[in-house]
Chain A
């Protein structure tokens, strides 16, 4: 764990995970940081899988030690198994797990050799990009639970959530779309080739019936495009007409129909070759554009809700027996057992035990709260310390934090089809129809025989596909630029909403503070090695987050690990331990004061005093670790006239530091509940503000959903992130101003290229209204405009991105 310790890093890293090694834990001259890592190494070594360590240096994932053995007990429930597995028979079960920890080729090696660790596993195949592993195992030799436990043991604990189990079958990758592109491309290329003689052979092909053969072949080749590849446009146009709303697919569908109708009319009537090459080309390029724009991020999930965070299984006490049930079967009145680090699945009342609840998930407050028996504990809190017994008072879905999801914001989807292209396409269509009407009126007077050719030519050549292509390719390129900067957008319409943002709401924890949240420093006497060693070994015994930080602060110290005698932890106050004839106490001011019999000052902020043999040595101070790069970025945003707000579920002890970062003008709100955050965003929107919410975790989920654009910040993109429009890597938060500027320039790029495509249209229309649109002109104009538009959008997007510093 890369804490900001002052101790130098040991030269030999843990052979397994690369963390600082503890020289006392060694096997065959290889040092490990902890016994967990050593155990994993031994297991791999025993099964001859040490190639794992040769493919990449220190590939392992720090072992979390022995997980609570009952953690995966719910995987023995038949209903859960049924939901998780894809195929189930007596001799074979197929299952796919999501493993966000997968990070290198060693991971692939290990995960594909699971059958060598346990013969019950028949095969396993990993998909690195989706971070998935597909496992086939024999249920008579190994159970699903054991498979998951094995994965968790070697460091790849699968991400199993209720939500994933609910909708497993939906694949993001639409193969039908690819088939349509393939067929359209094949037909387009062949029609193009067969049309060339017609354009350039100056009459010779009339002989031997070559010309008619080519034309009829073209007709045959165009049929699959019309009846298979282009169906999406027709469906979409039909839907929009039924809803009395003109979307961009309507004029496109019209253009396709007119092109084909006129071509078939000419071919069957024997009067010409038609415009089948242009017609199929349009379909092909537009399908490619859509595919390019809709490329999504396989391993990311943008629509998680509380179900992804909550435990899947829970231990209940029934007739004095412990029983594991899936959380979905939990009822009011059940008595549940909660062990260290386990999450409360539903609002409950404490019956027995010392509860120290970490509500960081719910409120952002990361100091644990002590609870007395009889107190209400909200769902989403995490128990730290000993096992407690609770009585459930509300259903999972009716609990305090989950109630947020009953809010109506979660019932409708946002960012669907309100693109600013659609109004443009309306004007385009209207303009097109007026040009057509004028041409018809002109020929009515001058030469009625040319009415039909002129009208159809206008509709063929002035296809709005260039407009659609401009948008799809610009957005496709922009999504890639965002992705390269570790900002992963859910879809391209998020770019448009980003461009309209004028207010930004930040959440404190995890967003402007580091994910690890806190810094640690020691104030007091200079500690010698022996004292450090004592503190380290005392802190090691405790699972309290502050103890863990002290332990990693101590880093490597001289001396062996020893057996700690007489260790006591007092929830909410501190710990004492007897090591090597010294008594070490770490804890709150009041706790240490009792021992040393002096009154230590209780000041604000989080701290822990340390005393050895009743001598106070000093205290550890824990402060929030702010992302330093953020300060100039925020000033930049304020200069650009964005209004900024800060919401925090935490108390206001950090106010002075935050004011330093944000300045005095920014409203800072503390102790905000998830519902209050949502309401705050709603309030801003009522003032006609376009709100960007930047947050992380469950406690912001409502606000993220309510906002116009919700960005979820994550220090590890494989981690859970709540429902949002974009996922942003924590290290890149300071680029937020650049992202917004880039999104705004997207509209400019589209406008510029659109003007260009209108110029092409004017050229084409000038032929069309004179009823002189030869197929060859259409055949040249169409690909020329398409390809130049694709190139220009590409160049403009990347040039703008470089200009904005992305």
Chain B
């Protein structure tokens, strides 16, 4: 029976760690935007090496 004490202690610790994980995820804003990241991960990382195709850039620096 005394094993129960240990098990209950563990079960509460596990549950508490889930609670901590939940609070942490809310605090760091992981639920603030549940759409954009799902799109963002689909973008290919196009290599940066490419030279501008036309030289006369009218873009202001």
Contact = CB atoms under 8 A, between A and B. Distances in A.
A120 B60 CA distance: 10
A194 B57 CA distance: 70
B19 A182 contact: yes
A129 B54 contact: no
B7 to A, nearest CB: 11
Interface string B1-42: 110110010011001101100110011000111111001101
Given A182-B26, A183-B19, A109 B43 contact: yes
Given A128-B39, A182-B19, A175 B1 contact: no
A17 to B, nearest CB: 20
B5 to A, nearest CB: 7
Contact of A175 (B27, B40, B42, B59): B27
Interface stretch (A45-53, A93-101, A233-241, A646-654): A45-53
Interface string A49-65: 00100010000000000
Contacts of A179: 23, 26
Interface in A1-48: 42-43, 45-48
B61 A118 contact: yes
Given A129-B35, A186-B19, A194-B8, A51 B1 contact: no
Given A51-B46, A108-B39, A112-B40, A128 B57 contact: no
Contacts of A128: 33, 35-36, 39
B11 to A, nearest CB: 8
B36 A186 contact: no
A304 interface: no
A128 B59 CA distance: 27
A217 B7 CA distance: 14
Interface centre among B16, B22, B27, B54 (most CB of A within 10 A): B22
Interface stretch (A205-213, A319-327, A453-461): A205-213
Interface string A217-237: 100000000000000000000
A207 B33 contact: no
Interface centre among B42, B44, B48, B59 (most CB of A within 10 A): B59
A348 B13 CA distance: 70
B52 A47 contact: yes
Given A141-B61, A186-B15, A208 B35 contact: no
A755 interface: no
Contacts of A126: 36
B44 A118 contact: no
Given A179-B26, A189-B15, A127 B43 contact: no
Contacts of B46: 48, 51
Nearest to B35: A128
B1 to A, nearest CB: 5
Contacts of A183: 19, 23
A146 B60 contact: yes
Given A179-B23, A190-B15, A208-B2, A46 B33 contact: no
| Main SS at interface, chain B | loop
Contacts of B59: 43, 46, 117-118
| Main SS at interface, chain A | helix
Given A42-B54, A120-B61, A190-B12, A173 B19 contact: no
Contacts of B2: 208
B33 A130 contact: yes
A523 interface: no
Contacts of A190: 12, 15
Contacts of A763: none
- Counting contact residues on chain A (CB < 8 A from B), the size range is 35 or more
B33 A127 contact: yes
B8 A182 contact: no
Nearest to B1: A208
A452 interface: no
Nearest to A187: B19
Given A46-B57, A210-B4, A51 B22 contact: no
A596 to B, nearest CB: 45
B19 to A, nearest CB: 4
A105 interface: yes
Given A43-B59, A118-B61, A141-B61, A129 B1 contact: no
A666 interface: no
Nearest to B22: A182
Interface string A81-109: 00000000000000000000000010011
A82 B42 CA distance: 36
A456 to B, nearest CB: 28
B61 A217 contact: no
A763 B22 CA distance: 37
Contacts of B35: 128-129
Contacts of B44: 51
Nearest to A176: B26
Contacts of A208: 1-2
Nearest to A153: B59
Nearest to B26: A178
A42 B34 CA distance: 33
B40 A108 contact: yes
Contact of B1 (A112, A146, A207): A207
Contacts of A109: 39, 43
Interface of A: 42-43, 45-48, 51, 55, 105, 108-109, 112, 116-120, 125-130, 141-142, 146, 173, 175, 178-179, 182-183, 186, 189-190, 193-194, 207-208, 210, 213-214, 217
Given A128-B35, A175-B27, 10 more contacts: A47-B52, A48-B46, A51-B44, A51-B46, A55-B43, A118-B60, A141-B61, A142-B60, A173-B32, A190-B15
21 contacts: A46-B52, A46-B54, A47-B52, A55-B43, A105-B39, A108-B36, A108-B39, A112-B40, A116-B48, A120-B61, A126-B36, A127-B36, A128-B33, A129-B33, A175-B26, A175-B27, A178-B31, A182-B26, A186-B18, A208-B2, A213-B8
Interface of B: 1-2, 4-5, 8, 11-12, 15-16, 18-19, 22-23, 26-27, 31-36, 39-40, 42-44, 46, 48, 50, 52-54, 57, 59-61
